[in-house]
Amino acid sequence: MRYIYFGISFGLTMAAGLYLGYQGGLWLDARFSTEPIFTLLGLLLGVVVAFRGLIDKINIFEKADKNKEEE
């Protein structure tokens, strides 16, 4: 069950990060007339944030597994 939660959580985090990065990049590009630059940077930032969240979730699961083994 934890792995299902993990997969859904990562998928939603990735989708939200990409969407928000893309929309923010589009808005900045429209505001400053720098067509693809901020959109690409926003997408890259979304991917980085999503993978950072993935690493944090993995660390939480590893700590929980270690605590479970020690008991």
Give residue limits of the domains in the chain. Answer: 11-58
Report helix angle 2-32 to 37-70, nearest 10. Answer: 160
Q: How confident is the model at residue 3 (pLDDT cuts 50, 70, 90)?
A: confident
pLDDT digits (tens, 9 = 90+) for 6-35: 889 899 999 999 999 999 999 999 999 999
pTM of the model: 0.83
User: For tokens 């690409």, what's the residue?
Assistant: 40
Question: Mean pLDDT in the chain?
Answer: 92
Alpha helices (runs of H) in the chain, residue ranges in sequence order: 2-32, 37-70
DSSP 8-state assignment for residue 35: T
